[in-house]
Amino acid sequence: MANLMTLLKTVAADIPAALISPAELSILQRLSQQLPEGQAAILECRLSEARPAADLSLCLRPRRTGAPAIKAACPDGEAWAGIRHFYHYWPALPQLAFLQRTWLEFDCIDKGAKALEQPCFFFGGNHDQLKVEEWIDRIQLVVDLINQPASGFTYSKDLLSFCLTQMQPSSRLFQIGLMAFRAVPSLRICVQDRSVKPLLKLLRSVGLREIAGVMMAELGAYFESCSKFGLHLDLGEELSLKASLECYPDAEGQWGDWPIFLNQLDQMDDLHRTKLAALKNWPGRHILAGDVQIRQLINHFKFLLEPGVKPKVKAYLYVGKHHPQTQKKHPLVR
C-alpha cells in the first residue's frame, strides 16, 4: 500500500507549478495525512480557471487479507462512519465480489479542508456479465451500506433502470458514483465505449439531445485523436440536464496522438493558456522510488457539457505505483 503523502512529496518537484502550485500541493499533502493508505491518486486540474489548484481522488482496493485499512485518524462524521461500514463488510458480501476498486473524491478547490468531511464515493469492477436488475440491486446495497440519510441523497430506481437499458451493446458501465454531498445530490453513472457514437445514441435515447448536439458541435474535432470515451450522467429523482465526457488519448499504452489532442485544445475560448502551455511542455516522467515505480501522467481529460454553454475542460493527473517490470514506457518521457 502507498502512503499518499509520500507519493505526493515524491512527485511534487515534477508537477508544473502552473497546474498545481507548490503551496496548493502542500495543502493536499497535509490533507492526505488524514486519509487511508491507497494504491493511487488522481489530481483533477481545472484548465478553464487560473488558480493552480487541484481536487483529489484516492483509489482503494481490497488487500489480500480483506478490506483496505481505514485509519482511526480519518475525519469523523456521518460520511466517514458510512465509509468505514462499507469497507468493513465489503470482503464478506458475495454480492460485492465483482468490485475491484473504489475511489474517494474530495472537492478540495471549493471546500478546502472541509472536503475531507464530505467525500464522493465511486465503485467499479468486473461487471460485464451483470444484468441491469443485478446492477440495480448491487447499487442499492452499496447505498444502504454507506447510509447517509442526512445528506438528502435519493435517486429513482426506475430512472436508473431506464438509463442502463438504453446503453448500447458495445458500451460498459465503468463505475458508479454516489455524489451525496454535492449542491444537488445525485447518483452518477459512468459509461465507457471505444467509440463516441454509442454514447451519442445513449444521450439521445434518454432525452439529452441538446447535450449530444453540444458534443458534436464543440468536441467533434477531438474524437479522432482519442481511443476511449466515458460519458457521465447524473440522476436523482430526475435526470440532470448536464453531463460530462471523458476523453482518453492513450490506447493500450500508446500515446501517439496526445500532442495532437493538446494542440486542438488551443481552439477553446476560455482555456487558461498558461496551464495549456505547461501541459504541452510537460509530458510527465517516471521516477524510480525504492522497489516501485511512480507514474504521474495525464490519465485523461474531461469536458463539462451543458446546453447553451461552451464546454469547460479538466485534466486528470495520475499518481500511483507500478512494478517496473510491468510498466510501459511513455514515448514522450524525456
224: Cβ contacts below 8 Å, ≥ 6 apart:
257
Decide: 31 and 116 in contact? Cβ < 8 Å. yes
Q: What is the dihedral sign for C-alpha 272, 274, 280, 283? A: negative
Residue type, 249: P
Instruction: Please state, in angstroms and as integers, the Cα–Cα distance from residue 8 to each residue in 276, 302, 318, following that order.
Output: 22, 22, 11
pLDDT confidence of residue 330: 43
pLDDT confidence of residue 154: 86
What b/e readout covers 55-86, taking b as 16+ CB neighbours within 10 angstroms?
Answer: bbbbbbebeeeebbebeeebbeebbbebbbeb
At 63, give phi and psi (nearest 5°).
Answer: -80, 170
Decide: 123 and 87 in contact? Cβ < 8 Å. no
As a three-state string, the secondary structure of 236-261 is CCCEEEEEEEEEECCECCECCCHHHH
Residue type, 19: L
Question: How many Å apart are CA 171 and CA 193, to the nearest integer?
Answer: 5
pLDDT confidence of residue 1: 44
pTM: 0.89
Residues of the chain with pLDDT under 70: 1-2, 62-74, 127-128, 148-152, 250-258, 283-297, 321-334
Residue carrying the nine cell digits 440536464: 241
